[in-house]
């Protein structure tokens, strides 16, 4: 099972990736989580990418593809994987296609802009494992604390209102063209995420079973 999750920031890609990874026993590759870990640890890669993330801009394709390529080469990806947040540009999609990944599907999760603001406005993430919560739509068992590792939940700096606006612009300009790229390739499955996390998961499962 090889799945690419496409959709605007806040659509629920990370949330669904966590659930799909558990269900199918395959790893999630989240470039956002990987880069945030590098930033947190202050590595050279983190220093090079921090400014892009903070400003809501995309990290350059070469940097992203180097990260993804070495991650996909690890043995745990042999039985399948979920790509969360990659590709985000046409050149990234082309680079992936040149890597001969085999058969994959693209789940395009769509949601109204207004709902995106509600979702991102209440998003909280675990500073350690990257697990995602929402203050009202998907609260942790104990307020402010990660269910799995017990670490403190934080607000991502790029979830500030101005940066959300910038990220939505970047999405429409640079990432949305991927919808027709994958539609033409016959790989696209559209998932409308208007309901709860559980309803979206159910819609994805139905779509994958039909496939
Ligand atoms: P993405 O990875 O696409 O940016 P996330 O998975 O981080 O999105 O979800 C954004 C926020 O919305 C999180 O706080 C998450 O808990 C919440 N969320 C995700 N899916 C839903 C849903 N179907 N209904 C309501 N809130 C959701
Ligand atoms: P969200 O799903 O909320 O948009 P992500 O965690 O996927 O957030 O990404 C956060 C930031 O990390 C992006 O705004 C961008 O700066 C960087 N990033 C993540 N994935 C990519 C990618 N494939 N290409 C370029 N930049 C990326
Ligand atoms: Zn955690």
What residues are annotated to the active site? 13, 88, 123, 156, 167
The percent of residues above 70 in pLDDT, for the chain, comes to 100
Structure tokens at 136: 């009202």
Chain segment 121-161, per-residue pLDDT in tens: 999 999 888 899 999 999 999 999 999 999 999 999 999 99
Q: Are 9 and 164 in contact (CB under 8 A)?
A: yes
Please give the radius of gyration of the chain, using alpha carbons only, rounded to the nearest integer: 16
Would you say residue 113 has pLDDT above 90?
Answer: no
pLDDT above 90: residue 88 = yes
The runs of H, that is alpha helices, within 108-160 are 113-121
Is residue 134 classed as helix, strand or coil in its secondary structure? strand
Ligand lying closest to the C-alpha of residue 159: 2
- Ligand 1 centre to CA of 168 (Å) is 15
Q: Which ligand is nearest to the CA of 35?
A: 2
Q: Kindly give, in sequence order, each residue whose CB lies less than 8 Å from that of residue 141, ignoring residues fewer than 6 positions away.
A: 147
Residue 111 Cα: closest atom of ligand 1: 23
Asked if residue 211 has pLDDT above 80, the reply is no
pTM to 2 decimals?
Answer: 0.96
């Amino acid at each position: 099972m090889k799945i690419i999750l496409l959709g605007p920031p806040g659509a629920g890609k990370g949330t669904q990736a966590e659930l799909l990874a558990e269900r199918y026993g395959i790893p999630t590759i989240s470039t956002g989580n990987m880069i945030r870990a590098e930033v947190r640890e202050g590595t050279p890669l983190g220093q090079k990418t921090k400014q892009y993330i903070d400003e809501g801009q995309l990290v350059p394709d070469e940097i992203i593809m180097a990260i993804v390529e070495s991650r996909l080469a690890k043995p745990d990806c042999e039985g399948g994987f979920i790509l969360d947040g990659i590709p985000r540009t046409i050149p990234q999609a082309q680079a992936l296609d040149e890597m001969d990944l085999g058969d994959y599907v693209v789940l395009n999760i769509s949601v109204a802009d207004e709902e995106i603001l509600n979702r991102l406005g209440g998003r909280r993430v675990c500073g350690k494992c990257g697990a995602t919560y929402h203050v009202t739509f998907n609260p942790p068992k104990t307020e402010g604390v990660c269910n799995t590792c017990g670490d403190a939940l934080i607000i991502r700096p790029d979830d500030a209102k101005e940066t959300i606006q910038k990220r939505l612009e970047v999405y429409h300009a640079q990432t949305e063209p991927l919808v027709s790229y994958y539609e033409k390739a016959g790989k696209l499955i559209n998932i409308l995420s208007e309901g709860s996390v559980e309803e979206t998961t159910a819609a994805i499962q139905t779509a994958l079973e039909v496939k």
